[in-house]
Amino acid sequence: MPAISVLDLAHIVEGSTAADAFRHTLELARHAEKLGYKRYWLAEHHNMIGIASAATAVVIGYVAGGTSTIRVGSGGVMLPNHSPMVIAEQFGTLATLYPGRIDLGLGRAPGSDMRTARALRRDPESADRFPQDVLELQALLGPEQPGQSIRAVPGVETNVPLWILGSSLFGAQLAAALGLPFAFASHFAPDALMQALEIYRSRFEPSAQLDRPHAMVAANVVVAPTDGEARRLFTSIQQQFAHLQRGDPGRLRPPVDDIDSYWSRFERARAEQMLACSFVGNPDTVREGLSGFLDQTRADELIVAAPLYDHAARLRSFELLAGIAATLPGPPR
C-alpha cells in the first residue's frame, strides 16, 4: 500500500470562525494520527475569507504541538512570498521543537491575487528566482560551512526535508534536477499530471536527501456509507469551485441536494476538469477508483484533500479511507 497523508487548508465553513477551523484541524490531525496517516500538511493562502492557514508555520506548530507521531508540514509554503532566511528560521524552529516530524513543501505560486501579493511586499520577479531561493534555503538548513557568516538560528544543521510542489512541468523539472521529492497538485490541476511524473522520474538526479525519485499525487476523496451520501457531501467542494470561477470563493458552503441546478453548464464543465482526480462514494467505489489512479500514476504517496462542511462527516470519511488503505496498490519496485 502507498503512504497516505492529509492536505488541509483549515477551511472556515459558513456560520463558523477561524477559531472553529483551527479546532477542527487539530481534531482531524489527531484522528489521522491514530488512523496511521503519514503526514498532515497545511497550505499557504492569503486574503481568502474561507481559509485560515495563511500563517502556515504557526498552524504547523499548533498541529505538531497537539500530536506526537504524525509528520506535519507545508503543502506548501509559497517561497516567493518570503525570504529564504525567514523560512529557514521558522522551520528550523519547528524542527528543533518537533525533531524528525517537520516537512517543508515549497511552491512558487503567490497563493493570492496580485493586490495581495503587493501587500505581502512580494517582488513581481520573485517567482523567477525560485530555484535559487530553494538552494539558498537548503543551504541555510544544512551543515554550517567554514567561514559562513549568515546563519539561521535555529535552522542550521536541522536538514529539514524539502519537497517541491507543482501543478505544471516546471516543478517536476526542478525537483528532478535538485534530487528532491515531488508532490503534484492533481486535486485541482490534473492536466499535466502524467507528463510531469514522467519528466520527474526520467530526469531525476540523486542527492544527499534522496537517492531515487519519490512522487506524491493529490486527490479529493470523500467516503461515506453510501454513494449518494458521499456525492451529496462532495457538493460543498463543487460549489467552492463554481464560486472560484465567479470570483467569490467565500466560506465553505453546506451540501445541496441538486448541484446541477446550482451551477451553469460552463461552471460544471470547468469544475469537472479541475476535479478530475476526485474519488467519491462508498468504500468499494472509492477503493476501485483509487486503485486505478494509483496503478496509473505509480505514486509513492497519496495526499488527500477533503474539505467538507460537516466536520463529523469529514472525520468519518478519513476513517473509512483508512479502512481501505491496506487494499490499495503500492508503487512498483
Amino acid identity, residue 186?
Answer: S
The reported pLDDT for the residue numbered 332 is 67
8 Å CB contact between 141 and 160: yes
Confidence (pLDDT) at 112: 58
Query: What cell was used for 90?
Result: 521558522
Range 271-307 burial, b when 16+ CB lie within 10 A, else e: beebbbbbbbbbbebbbebbeebbeebbbbbbbbbbb
Beta-strand relationship, 71-78 and 39-42: parallel
Q: What is the pLDDT of residue 324?
A: 95
Burial (CB < 10 A; 0-12, 13-18, 19+), residue 45, is buried
What's the whole-model pTM score? 0.95
Across 235-258, b (16+ Cβ under 10 Å) vs e yields: bbbbbbbbbbeeeebebbbebeee
Q: How far apart are CA 163 and CA 184, in angstroms?
A: 10
The alpha carbon of 309 is separated from its chain's Cα centroid by a whole number of angstroms, namely: 19
User: Is residue 29 classed exposed, middle or buried when 0-12, 13-18 and 19+ CB atoms within 10 A define those classes?
Assistant: buried
* Helix boundaries (H) for 149-255: 169-178, 193-203, 227-245
User: Hey, what domains does the chain have and what are their CATH numbers?
Assistant: 5-160 (3.20.20.30), 214-333 (3.20.20.30)
pLDDT by position in tens, the chain (length 333): 789 999 999 999 999 999 999 999 999 999 999 999 999 999 999 988 999 999 999 999 999 999 999 999 999 999 999 999 999 999 999 999 999 999 999 999 865 567 777 777 667 677 789 999 999 999 999 998 888 888 989 999 999 999 999 999 999 999 999 999 999 999 999 999 999 999 999 999 999 999 999 999 999 999 999 999 999 999 999 999 999 889 888 999 999 999 999 999 999 999 999 999 999 999 999 999 999 999 999 999 999 999 999 999 999 999 999 999 988 987 766
